[in-house]
Amino acid sequence: MPSIRTKEFTPRASEAINNPTIQKSLDRLANFRQGRTDSIEEFGQERWDEHTKRAKEIKQETLGHLDHYLDMLSTNVERAGGKVFFAHDTQEANEYVAGVARANSVKTVIKSKSMVSEEMGVADYLEGMDIEPVETDLGEYIIQLAKEAPYHIIAPALHKSKEEVSELFQRVLGTPAESDITALAGIARKVLREKFLQADMGMTGANFGVAEAGTIVMVTNEGNGRMSSSLPRVHVATMGMERVIPRLSDLATFLPLLTRSATGQRITSYVAFATGPKRRNEEDGPEEFHLVILDNGRSKMLADPQLREALYCIRCGACLNACPVYSKVGGHAYGWVYPGPIGAVVTPSILGIPIAKDLPFASTLCGACKEVCPLDIDIPRMLLKLRSDATEGPAGTRKPDRIESMMMRGWRMIVSSPRMFGLAGKVASILQWPLSRNKFMRRLPPPLSGWTKSRDFPTVSAKPFHARWSAMALPSEKGDKDGK
């Protein structure tokens, strides 16, 4: 597995906020947002909503009978001459991939972009076996050279300026300084062409695994998915077990949802289909095809009715673009493979809340993620569920804050009667006296000090509404239940 730095959320968020280059890169998320908005407008909101509804139904149906559809997928991949491996965790998945590489004396592996392969950390694993893994998506290639994790689900090098990329290429590839983006892409293209021709094995992800056809579908803009799956002798595809869809015709529902939500494109430059290795009468294509289907905590999410919906995710990244928090702290703060709102659900679900506790709390619950999600996944509701697991869940998932827990018990007592509520207000209005000036406080002790560092805090009113009501109430409105 890749390194887990979820516990460094706050310092890494701070680093991003205080880095002007990163903030400038994050401003580019506006292009994704605009692209999505325009694209849906063109598509028609009503039609879009129908697609969302249909996609949800398909996901419900598929996840409700996941064993059936995975079995169908697996049978049909094997019928087409491929091999299927179900990996319980990333260790098993990596060992299988390594076994295939070893059996084929593989020296170089070309990879197209895949979040599941990031989850596996397969590139590091292969490197440890003296096999050279080469990322072929331009963004992934850049972060591979920089030895970093992807910053965004669909734009892994979003945070890098062209100057930084030029510098990186100079340092690692020894190429001359270049300020033109097309020229920079040209440099990568030249290096990668060689690698494509050299590689003995290609690894890809799978945006969809079509059960009835035994086909995996790869959505890319650079064509590297098609190259990685067709040029080398061996093709290994990895997919999360939730990515299966029943029918080829379901792609008509999912593809527009994916590409329009992600980049605003009607369709990506390439949508590649791979069904098994090459046939006897075919000249091109791999001799071997392997499909690794990864569980790695997904069964656990499937079994939890409150988290299951997170498995509907098609990894379009729209929730990242819409999120006010992601838009400031960027991808690395989240500390693992999946950043942003969906990452804040998936990461603690897979790794456990105690080591990723910040993530479900580091959200304003504004709901922008749910609003843009093409599957209408209720991310805020799941974040609330994870918060409640963190404070009150069963031992093992729980990681309560003791002082806060005490304060909340006190709060519950206060709001359990208007008498207590009024009394608490009175006490506060006395205690605040030394700190207040003109009905505001500029400095408060922890935990409110975080607020007053840059915001004034209002004082509690000397005469709360309960007390004012009796003076306001008209005789006709004074009933038994009025405030006293």
Strand partners, 291: 84, 237
Strand partners, 237: 204, 291
Round to whole Å and give the CA distance between 414 and 17: 37
Q: How far is the CB of 417 from other proteins (least distance, A)?
A: 7
179 vs 470 by CB, closer to other proteins: 470
- With a CB cutoff of 8 Å and minimum separation 6, the contacts of 347 are 6, 334, 335, 336, 337, 338, 356, 359
Q: Check: CB of residue 33 under 8 Å from CB of residue 263.
A: no
Tell me how many degrees the CA angle 236-237-241 measures, rounded to the nearest 5.
140
Q: Name which of residues 320 to 349 contact other proteins (CB under 8 A).
A: 324-325, 327-329
Q: How far is the CB of 258 from other proteins (least distance, A)?
A: 23
Q: Which of 64, 99, 186, 447 binds other proteins (CB under 8 A)?
A: 447
Backbone phi and psi for residue 241, each to the nearest 5 degrees, phi listed first: -70, -10
31 vs 440 by CB, closer to other proteins: 440
Residue 349's Cβ-side half-sphere holds a number of Cα atoms within 13 Å equal to 30
Q: How far is the CB of 259 from other proteins (least distance, A)?
A: 24
81 vs 393 by CB, closer to other proteins: 393
- With a CB cutoff of 8 Å and minimum separation 6, the contacts of 256 are 43, 51, 266, 267
64, 308, 246, 52: CA torsion to nearest 10 = 120
Confirm or reject binding of residue 387 to other proteins (CB under 8 A): yes
Q: Check: CB of residue 310 under 8 Å from CB of residue 345.
A: yes
Confirm or reject binding of residue 352 to other proteins (CB under 8 A): no
Q: Helix or strand or coil: residue 201?
A: strand
Q: How far is the CB of 483 from other proteins (least distance, A)?
A: 3
266 vs 478 by CB, closer to other proteins: 478
- With a CB cutoff of 8 Å and minimum separation 6, the contacts of 450 are none
Q: At what angle do helices 29-43 and 45-64 cross, to 10 degrees?
A: 100
Residue indicated by tokens 């020894």: 174
Confirm or reject binding of residue 172 to other proteins (CB under 8 A): no
Strand partners, 133: 109
Separation of CA 59 from chain center: 18
Separation of CA 477 from chain center: 53
190 vs 484 by CB, closer to other proteins: 484
Q: How far is the CB of 6 from other proteins (least distance, A)?
A: 15
Q: Name which of residues 10 to 69 contact other proteins (CB under 8 A).
A: 10, 13-14, 17
43 vs 469 by CB, closer to other proteins: 469
Q: How far is the CB of 412 from other proteins (least distance, A)?
A: 4
60 vs 465 by CB, closer to other proteins: 465
Q: Check: CB of residue 284 under 8 Å from CB of residue 230.
A: yes
Candidate ranges 224-232, 243-251, 310-318, 378-386; the one touching other proteins (CB under 8 A): 378-386
**Per-residue contact track with other proteins, 390 to 419, x per CB under 8 A?**
xxx-----------xx--xx-xx-xxxxx-
Q: Which of 35, 81, 223, 367 binds other proteins (CB under 8 A)?
A: 367
Confirm or reject binding of residue 482 to other proteins (CB under 8 A): yes
Q: Which of 35, 223, 352, 483 binds other proteins (CB under 8 A)?
A: 483
Q: Name which of residues 266 to 325 contact other proteins (CB under 8 A).
A: 324-325
Confirm or reject binding of residue 459 to other proteins (CB under 8 A): yes
Confirm or reject binding of residue 484 to other proteins (CB under 8 A): yes
In the β-sheet with 457-458, what is the strand arrangement from edge to edge?
436-437, 440-441, 457-458
47 vs 468 by CB, closer to other proteins: 468
Q: How far is the CB of 444 from other proteins (least distance, A)?
A: 10
223 vs 483 by CB, closer to other proteins: 483
Q: Which of 105, 394, 454, 475 binds other proteins (CB under 8 A)?
A: 454
Round to whole Å and give the CA distance between 122 and 128: 10
Candidate ranges 36-44, 124-132, 154-162, 355-363; the one touching other proteins (CB under 8 A): 355-363
Tell which phi-psi region holds residue 223, choosing left (phi > 0), alpha (psi between -120 and 50) or beta.
Answer: left
176 vs 445 by CB, closer to other proteins: 445
Backbone phi and psi for residue 439, each to the nearest 5 degrees, phi listed first: 65, 15
Q: How far is the CB of 387 from other proteins (least distance, A)?
A: 3
Number of residues that bind other proteins (CB under 8 A): 72
Element (H, E) at 12: helix 9-17
Round to whole Å and give the CA distance between 426 and 460: 8
Q: How far is the CB of 447 from other proteins (least distance, A)?
A: 6
Specify the DSSP class assigned to residue 448: T
